[in-house]
Amino acid sequence: MRLSAKVEYGVRAMAILAIYYQGDPVPLRQIAEQEQISLKFLEQIFPDLKRVELVTSVRGSRGGYRLMRPPEEIRVGDIVRAVEGPITPVNCLAEGDDDSCCHRRGACLTRQVWARLRDKINDVLDDVTLDELVEVSAGKE
Amino acid sequence: MRLSAKVEYGVRAMAILAIYYQGDPVPLRQIAEQEQISLKFLEQIFPDLKRVELVTSVRGSRGGYRLMRPPEEIRVGDIVRAVEGPITPVNCLAEGDDDSCCHRRGACLTRQVWARLRDKINDVLDDVTLDELVEVSAGKE
DNA sequence: GCAATACCCGAGTTGTTTAGTCGGAATTAA
DNA sequence: TTAATTCCGACTAAACAACTCGGGTATTGC
């Protein structure tokens, strides 16, 4: 029951972008240094964030990334799902697998628990916005 | 954000044990057949369940496993933690890692979100008992 | 007693995933 | 032009997952 490093880094990076919201785009190099994350690894993560239109990019010198929406309209769940795909605690809950597991008795009994778990995880992650995440350090720069 | 097959099988197996609670101990071979799980793999899972005293074993011919407590006193969370260890969405939340991550700014900001996620996951899993899990099929044999 | 049945133990294997690395091409401000 | 940046695709070493395999030991029905 662990999140990938990609997700962890992605959320941290987005938190940085939220701090520097309004202002020049932030280059990945800067995030990499501040958060001690490999630049090349960050470069793999941001296409996912761009694809779902959470960020926009500015190419070239003095370019970088910025949030596409204000921090209070971006939820942690959006980031997690963008980077890692939909939350599926067990295979059985992935799409197209609706009844393939239910000829076994125990599988069907437990299925609803996993579905509920999935829903609650999404709830928790969707309950927190980037704004709330960084407000504790508001004004620190 | 996925559970391991060990956990999934473990919960399914425990559901079977709950169904056959009161009665002869259930041999792993039977669970393996009913749930289409490798017997050898089940044999790897059950020591974990025994260690935390969720089940007891009866050795010898006509032996097997049975629940150590009634189904209404066993929570899905107990099983998950027994088989997979404590829920830790990110490394930072593992024990002994309390401040090793907080010299990086984004890490500390996000930490509380992961902690909350961990707590909610535990809540959901601890909210369901084995009894509730199998009661939908009560009387089916 | 003895064969059958169950649990117990640890190593090995195979395939997938993770967490990156590496090199370079396209784009842009200065 | 040059330096900084995003973009793109391939590659890889290590870890992990999901088993398999081969036995060993204890217990019981008969």
pLDDT tens figures, B65-98? 999 999 999 999 999 999 999 999 998 777 555 5
Is residue A130 within 8 Å of A74, Cβ to Cβ? yes
Q: Give residue A44's pLDDT.
A: 98
Q: And the tokens for A93?
A: 């809950």
Q: And the tokens for A47?
A: 């296409």
Q: What structural domains and CATH numbers belong to chain A?
A: 5-137 (1.10.10.10)
**pLDDT band, residue B103 (cuts 50/70/90):** low
Contact B8 A110 (CB under 8 A): yes
Does B26 lie at the interface with A, CB-CB under 8 angstroms? no
Does A11 lie at the interface with B, CB-CB under 8 angstroms? yes
Nearest-neighbour CA in chain A from B110: distance (Å): 7
Q: Give residue A100's pLDDT.
A: 60
Contact A124 B117 (CB under 8 A): yes
Contacts of A114 in chain B (CB under 8 A): 3
- Kindly state the DSSP code that residue B59 receives in the 8-state scheme: -
Cβ of A88 less than 7 A from strand D: no
Q: Give residue A95's pLDDT.
A: 60
Q: And the tokens for B91?
A: 């490394």
Q: Which of B1, B11, B133 sits opposite A1 (nearest CB)?
A: B1
In percent, how much of chain A has pLDDT > 90? 80
Cα(A103)–Cα(A114) distance, integer angstroms: 17
Cα(A90)–Cα(A95) distance, integer angstroms: 11
Contacts of A13 (CB under 8 A, 6+ apart): A28, A31, A35, A37, A42, A45, A46, B106
Is residue A111 within 8 Å of A98, Cβ to Cβ? no
What's the CA B33/C1' C16 distance, rounded, in angstroms? 26
Residue of B1, B34, B119 to mutate for A, most A C-beta atoms under 10 A: B1
Cα(B98)–Cα(B105) distance, integer angstroms: 14
Does B1 lie at the interface with A, CB-CB under 8 angstroms? yes
User: Above 50 in pLDDT, residue B141?
Assistant: no
Q: What is the mean pLDDT of residues A45-55?
A: 98
Contact B121 A121 (CB under 8 A): yes
Q: Give residue A91's pLDDT.
A: 83
Contacts of B81 (CB under 8 A, 6+ apart): B87
